[in-house]
Structure 1
Amino acid sequence: MIHFLKDNTCCQDGGGDGPEGKDCLSKWKRRLETVSNKYNISSANTIKAHAEYQSSLAWQMKLKNWNDIIKETDENADAIVKELSFFIEQTGIVCDNSAETVKAFKRLLGLVKSIFDTFYDYNGEKGLKHKIIGFKKEIECLKNVSEEDKAEVIQCIEVYEEKIIMVCDMTDTVLKQLLETFKYTNLLHSSIGGCYGLEAKLDEMLDVFEGSSNGGNPSYAATSKVEKEEDSKEKSKGRKKPILDNNYSYPCNDVVVQPMPQLPINQSYYYIQIEQDLERALHKTESLKNDWIDCKKVSDKHLSERDSLREAIKNAESAESTK
């Protein structure tokens, strides 16, 4: 075995006259050094490729999660639009009915008021309350009627007079209750219909969800000036390039691309951009995965060659030491 390792012919590439060493063990050691360097480089490339792949995969999963949330939110927004449309339709019916109720109640109030007016003097015309008193006096002044008949008639008139007085006593209470009810009927109608009523508010909400409140453009959620400034500062910290450039390093920074709610969602720039970014991330991740696999194959090849050389050198040195 030792004779074989020391035999010059085992390491000769040709005739054996070249300047290279003819000793197999020395040649294996030089080869091991070369292969080890190649493995270190390929291993570093593999680690880098794997890190890039993992980073891209994580970014892809974030985009997928956002895209799923956006689609689900868009479906919910569509459901809200349908529910709002139905609710607005029903509110319109209630509004029309309340308007008719106000008109009818106004007529009823006028009718009741006119009935009560007949009991009181009005515009020089005597009311029933005054007329019944005059009627009693006229009965008492009759000369061709017996006192018994007068008393009987006056008794009937007094019963009627008591009822008139009772009705007159109810005037303030009844009219007050009617006016109070009329007031709340008006309030109910104005709170449902009109420029500031429920129907108008629901229409505004529907316009927002449909995106028609901003000239057909996506509507941004209301944000205070302070919140906008803080959001801008936070994004500027994580931004590697200006936001208008739209050329972020890949994978992107999730702080930079933090979503801003827009309605309708399916027409918003963010919705479209996320879909495009997700498609790009899918291709990029697949490409990085293939690069990592290719790098790993190279590093595994160099690793196998390095381990084989180490084992051969170890065996050779062991054999030489026992010579």
Structure 2
Amino acid sequence: MHRAVAALVTLILAGTTACSGAPVGGPGLPTVGLVVPDRNADELGLGYAAGVDRVGGVRSIVTGPSAVDSAEQVKMFSALRKRAGAGMALATRQPERFARPLAEAVDDGVEVMTLDAVPARSARVKLAVGNDDYALGTMLANAMLRRIPERSRGTVVLGTSSATLDARARGLRDRFGAQRSGVTLLGPFDTGPGSAANRKAWEALVAAHPDALAFLGTGEDDAYNLAAIRRRTHGLWLAGGFELNPRSIAALRQGELAALVSPERYFTGMVAGELQAAAARNKTSLPSGWIVTPGEVVTTSNVAGYEERQASAGAKQAWARPRVAAFLKDLRTHTRPLPTEP
């Protein structure tokens, strides 16, 4: 595996030197594609297209439902196989639903990877690119612990909008348990998918635990909804969560959130796009394993820089390019054996 990784990184670096800034693609070029869960929240797709463009000589297609719809995403992935024969990527939080479509693409000889998902064993996919969610949970815990004194006693309430994010909750729970013996962790409670349902769930949890030290959520909707509830109720409790939703960034800047952890989806997408484009252009295999991409802790002390970075696609790309290049040069360090689920 390590020789394959090293060879592919060499090809990527050579390609980015010669072809940086090449068009996303045109007729006659090998085509790769990514299917995302939601085109309206598409940091992964933007990063993936930028990564393919950076290598050059490969055309990219990014597609997905207009809102999270796993059944529709399965159909779109199957349809994309006819157009993206040089390589396919799938971003999903429900990998078990894609075991058969992924396996069929592998059987067709397509180079396939998953993003932000551990593929089912029956899918026979050899490469996953994405975060270690347990580690992201410990990162948020560490940021919150700096705001909760060592001898504090009380409760911290955890919520999760998806079972696939439970690893983040485990990271939070384990870190708090190790560092604050007087703090009891409750949950994770189901805070449901969808912004409106999520807000109602958190309103009920806040009402049920008015003396809690903090409320922490694992999904994107949790953070900005908690901030809105804290502002409306004049809460003295702390709140934190994940993702760089514009509403969450604004709430952090205003002091309604204590910390956010960004999974850095644009970065992950760019890493995946560069790897897939290099393999497609040079007709080589993708490396195997789990390439673990980093997260970032965002607090009131550094939120301004992230707010500026998130302001435009150009700003995101300028920020990510040198970091992705450094990451790919040291890819072996970031590659683990691929964990697989039944």
- Structures share fold, TM-score greater than 0.5: no
Larger gyration radius, structure 1 or structure 2:
1
Structure of higher RCO (CA pairs closer than 8 Å, 6+ residues apart): 1
TM range (shorter): under 0.3
TM-score, normalised on structure 1? 0.20
TM-score, normalised on structure 2? 0.19
Larger fraction in strand: 2
